[in-house]
Amino acid sequence: MSQKTLPETTGPAALLGLAPQELRRSVTSWLEARGEPAYRTDQVEHWVYGQAARSFDEATTLPTELRAELGAAFRLTPLEAAWTARSSDGTVKHLWRLEDGEQVESVLIPAGDRLTLCLSSQVGCALGCRFCATGSFGFRRHLTAAEIVAQYRDSLRFAREEMGRPITNLVFMGMGEPLANPEPLFAALEVLHEGFGVGARRITVSTVGLVPGILELARRPEPFGLAVSLHAPLSELRAALMPIERRYPLPELLAAVREYLDRKGRRVTFEYTLIEGINDSTELADSLADITSDLMCFINLIPWNPIPDRPWRSSPPERVEAFARALHRRGVSAAVREPRGRDIAAACGQLRLEHGDPAS
- Active-site residue set: 105, 348
- Binding ligand SAH (rule: CB under 6 A), the pick from 98, 132, 210, 253 is 132
Residue 141 contacts residue 2 (beta carbons within 8 Å): yes
Residue 67 or 231: which CB sits closer to ligand SF4?
231
Residues in contact with ligand SAH, shown as a per-residue x/- string from 304 to 323 under the rule CB under 6 A: xx-x----------------
Q: From the CB of 282, what's the least distance to ligand SF4, in Å?
A: 24
Q: Count the Cβ atoms, other than its own, within 10 Å of residue 248.
A: 19
Quick check: 36 binds ligand SAH (CB under 6 A)? no
What's 143's DSSP letter? P
Quick check: 208 binds ligand SAH (CB under 6 A)? yes
Question: Which residues are within 8 A (CB) of 31 and not within 5 positions of it... i.e. 6 or more apart?
Answer: 37, 38, 40, 41, 44
Residue nearest ligand SF4 by beta-carbon distance: 135
Residue 73 or 234: which CB sits closer to ligand SAH?
234
- Binding ligand SF4 (rule: CB under 6 A), the pick from 36, 154, 177, 280 is 177
Q: From the CB of 132, what's the least distance to ligand SF4, in Å?
A: 3
Residue 28 contacts residue 15 (beta carbons within 8 Å): no
Quick check: 229 binds ligand SAH (CB under 6 A)? yes
Quick check: 257 binds ligand SAH (CB under 6 A)? no
Report the residue count for the chain. Answer: 360
Q: From the CB of 298, what's the least distance to ligand SF4, in Å?
A: 19
Residue 280 contacts residue 272 (beta carbons within 8 Å): no
- Binding ligand SAH (rule: CB under 6 A), the pick from 124, 233, 349, 358 is 349
* Cα separation, 69 vs 66, whole angstroms: 5
* Cα separation, 220 vs 186, whole angstroms: 9
Q: From the CB of 23, what's the least distance to ligand SAH, in Å?
A: 28
Q: From the CB of 78, what's the least distance to ligand SAH, in Å?
A: 25
- Binding ligand SAH (rule: CB under 6 A), the pick from 41, 87, 273, 292 is 273
Quick check: 203 binds ligand SAH (CB under 6 A)? no
Residues in contact with ligand SAH, shown as a per-residue x/- string from 158 to 177 under the rule CB under 6 A: ---------------x---x
Quick check: 211 binds ligand SAH (CB under 6 A)? no
Q: From the CB of 96, what's the least distance to ligand SF4, in Å?
A: 17
* Cα separation, 274 vs 190, whole angstroms: 34
* Cα separation, 155 vs 91, whole angstroms: 12
Residues in contact with ligand SF4, shown as a per-residue x/- string from 116 to 135 under the rule CB under 6 A: ---------x-xxx--x-xx
User: Which is it for the CA torsion 261, 263, 264, 265, positive or negative?
Assistant: positive
Residue 36 or 271: which CB sits closer to ligand SAH?
271
Quick check: 271 binds ligand SAH (CB under 6 A)? yes
Q: Find, among 79, 52, 159, 153, the residue nearest to 115 by Cα.
A: 159
Answer with the entry of ligand SF4, ligand SAH, none that 326 interacts with (C-beta below 5 to 8 A by kind).
none
* Cα separation, 295 vs 250, whole angstroms: 14
Q: Which residues bind ligand SAH (CB under 6 A)?
A: 131-132, 173, 177, 206-208, 229, 271, 273, 302, 304-305, 307, 348-350
Q: Which residues bind ligand SF4 (CB under 6 A)?
A: 125, 127-129, 132, 134-135, 176-177, 208, 229
